[in-house]
């Protein structure tokens, strides 16, 4: 099966900012005991999920989400302007009670009224901006729903590069912006801890939402969990800010002792929600033609309806299976990214059937297993098994339980094939451990032998210099020379022995790999037909002409 994709969004020109993700400490449900272990679990779960999500995810920011940010910014500005307006009104009213002359009072009131009008103009401009932003949002969302954004995203890399300089001083007017995921405080272990005044509020409460937005957080993960025995159930909710809108929920069950699998699964389910990806289009090509009408397509174990050879699915990790009567099943698991079109070519193959025989180059008592099935023993040197056209991983098991693996490549697994093996069953772990110990012992001996070698060699050089200066006699210098030669010979011998044992250890470690079966004489293949129950015949075979022999 061939799978490829054509990307509609080039990453070089997609990123325009950062989208900050944070998580709160998860809480234990009412039925779960409140203790130090569960308290730690509540800290670890969100951190592990954030770590699995990583920072390589890109968020598609739709116009609606951009509008929420604009509304939050304008609302904050209006609130500030209103406080300034209230302060100016109070200040103007207080001028009447001040001990000012008529001229000074008139001048002060004029200045105050001017400031009030300026603030009122800013508030009116703010409201007008909000109105325009709302109208613009409706237009953009209509374009997105109509799919007009796709045309811009299909531009070539060269055209985008040209437009980058052509529109360098223009504001980015793209319908859908791209923002790189970033962690809260740039650290996935740093959880958001609400202050005392808001910790009891709902996430959707406006006061809580404002605190989150002020912290620069775009999305917040909250969750709770429950434990029963060795199992744990985790529920995660994801909220978008500003607005405090829930954008997704995920539930998963796992084993307490292996939270890695559980948090990985949750992260994989959250990534499509975080990236806010577009749907994925699968373009299917199925061969041969006679298999098309009988093909059933399952995505995540759900039967799919195919229209015009295409399937539209959500982005994310999906398992696709293709099943056609009379053909071998095909399938794959793949991470499908949104805003892409994937071409999937499925070439169905008819299942191959037949028999293969395996002969022993050296007679051994034991059983042969191939692809998890026990082979049918014909005699002490030959066994037979049905094939399906795939390669075979086999195992020879001796009478004392020792094993030896072998491998038969696909090119030798055809009907009527005859291959030979020479298994060497043994307890390989014990053998490898034995060779390892001997290798390390020889290495230790070699290293220890270097101590007297360097010692005698150093003294030998010293006494040679002394002899040249007539400070010691010839016999003393000769003795150190002999000692150097002896210790050097011992070190060389131990070094060679260590190298030899190292090679033997590597060979022993390599012995766990299955040996490759050799092609044998095809004339040795005679199809064996096991006798029926109650049949006194000891041997039934069919020769190449299909004649049964006894």
Q: Where are the domains of the chain?
A: 2-62+176-275, 73-147, 280-347, 355-424+516-549, 428-510
The string of DSSP letters for 487-524 reads: HHHHHHHHHHHHHHHHHHHHHHHHTTSPEEPEE--GGG
Residue 145: band (very low, low, confident or very high) from pLDDT cuts 50, 70, 90: low
Q: Tokens 């199809």 label which residue?
A: 527
Same fold, 2-62+176-275 and 280-347: no
4 pLDDT tier (thresholds 50, 70, 90):
low
Residue 369: how many other CB atoms lie within 10 Å = 18
Alpha carbons 255 and 262: distance in angstroms, whole number? 8
Three-state SS string over 412-436 comes to HCCCCEEEEECCCCECHHHHHHHHH
pLDDT over threshold 70, residue 298 = yes
Residues with Cβ < 8 Å from 426, sequence gap 6 or more? 402, 404
| Cβ atoms 116, 61 nearer than 8 A | no
Q: What is the mean pLDDT of residues 521-528?
A: 86
Q: For residue 307, give the DSSP letter.
A: B
In this prediction, residue 274 carries a pLDDT of: 79
Cα separation, 25 vs 194, in Å, equals: 10
Rounded Cα distance between 139 and 390, Å, is 57
**Considering only 196-200, 328-332, 452-456, 540-544, which range has the smallest mean pLDDT?**
540-544
Q: Are 222 and 239 in contact (CB under 8 A)?
A: yes
Note the pLDDT of residue 143.
72
pLDDT at 479: 92
Contact 277, 339 (CB under 8 A): yes
Class in CATH terms, 280-347: mainly beta
Q: pLDDT tens for residues 166-183?
A: 444 444 455 667 778 889
* Residue 502: band (very low, low, confident or very high) from pLDDT cuts 50, 70, 90: very high
Distance between CA atoms of residues 60 and 275, nearest Å: 6
Rg for the chain, CA atoms, rounded: 39
pTM to 2 decimals?
0.45
Task: Specify the pLDDT at position 57.
Answer: 67
Beta strands in 300-360 (DSSP E): 302-303, 310-313, 316-324, 330-336, 340-347, 355-360
CB atoms closer than 10 angstroms to residue 236: 24
Find the mean pLDDT for residues 487-502: 95
Give me the pLDDT at residue 505, please.
93
Superfamily (CATH H level) for 2-62+176-275: TolB, N-terminal domain (3.40.50.10070)
Q: State residue 169's pLDDT score.
A: 42
């Amino acid at each position: 099966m061939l799978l490829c994709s054509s990307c509609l969004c080039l990453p070089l020109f997609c990123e325009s900012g950062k989208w900050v993700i944070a998580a709160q400490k998860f809480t234990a449900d009412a039925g779960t005991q409140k203790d130090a272990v569960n308290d730690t679990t509540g800290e670890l779960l969100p951190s592990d999920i954030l770590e699995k999500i990583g920072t390589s995810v890109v968020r598609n920011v739709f116009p609606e989400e951009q509008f929420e940010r604009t509304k939050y910014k304008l609302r904050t500005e209006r609130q500030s302007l209103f406080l300034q307006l209230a302060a100016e009104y109070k200040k103007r009213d207080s001028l009447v009670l001040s001990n000012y002359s008529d001229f000074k009072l008139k001048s002060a009131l004029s200045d105050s009224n001017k400031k009030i009008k300026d603030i009122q103009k800013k508030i009116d401009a703010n409201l007008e901006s909000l109105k325009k932003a709302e109208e613009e949002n409706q237009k953009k969302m209509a374009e997105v729903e109509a799919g007009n954004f796709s045309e811009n995203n299909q531009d070539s890399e060269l055209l985008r590069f040209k437009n980058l300089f052509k529109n360098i001083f223009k504001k980015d007017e793209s319908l859908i912006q791209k923002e790189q995921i970033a962690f809260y405080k740039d650290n996935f272990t740093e959880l958001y801890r609400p202050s005392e005044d808001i910790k009891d509020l709902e996430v959707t409460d406006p006061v809580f939402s404002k605190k989150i937005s002020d912290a620069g957080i775009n999305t917040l993960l909250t969750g709770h969990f429950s434990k029963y025995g060795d199992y744990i159930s985790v529920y995660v909710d994801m909220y978008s800010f500003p607005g405090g809108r829930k954008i997704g929920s995920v539930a998963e069950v796992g084993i307490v002792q292996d939270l890695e699998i559980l948090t990985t699964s949750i992260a994989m389910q959250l990534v499509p929600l975080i990236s806010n990806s577009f749907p994925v289009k699968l373009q299917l090509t199925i061969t041969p033609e006679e298999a098309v009408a009988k093909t059933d397509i399952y995505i995540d174990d759900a039967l799919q309806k195919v229209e015009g050879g295409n399937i539209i699915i959500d982005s994310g990790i999906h398992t696709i299976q293709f099943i056609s009567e009379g053909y071998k099943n095909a399938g794959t698991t793949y991470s499908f990214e949104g805003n892409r079109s994937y071409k999937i070519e499925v070439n169905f193959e008819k299942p191959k059937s037949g028999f293969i025989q395996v002969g022993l180059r050296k007679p051994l008592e034991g059983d042969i297993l191939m692809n998890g099935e026990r082979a049918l023993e014909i005699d002490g040197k030959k066994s037979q098994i049905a094939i399906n056209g795939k390669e075979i991983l086999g195992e020879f098991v001796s009478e004392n339980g020792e094993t030896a693996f072998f491998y038969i490549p696909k090119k030798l697994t055809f009907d009527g094939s005859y291959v030979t093996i020479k298994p060497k069953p043994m307890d390989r772990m014990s053998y490898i451990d034995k060779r390892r110990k001997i290798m390390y012992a020889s290495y230790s001996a070699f290293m220890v032998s270097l101590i007297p070698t360097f010692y005698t060699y150093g003294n030998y050089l010293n006494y040679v210099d002394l002899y040249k200066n007539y400070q010691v006699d010839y016999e003393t210098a000769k003795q150190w020379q002999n000692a150097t030669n002896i210790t050097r010979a011992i070190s060389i011998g131990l070094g060679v022995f260590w190298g030899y044992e190292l090679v033997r250890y590597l060979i022993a470690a390599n012995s766990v790999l299955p040996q490759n079966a050799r092609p044998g004489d095809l004339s040795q293949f005679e199809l064996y037909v096991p006798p029926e129950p109650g049949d006194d015949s000891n041997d039934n075979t069919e020769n190449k002409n299909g004649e049964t022999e006894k």
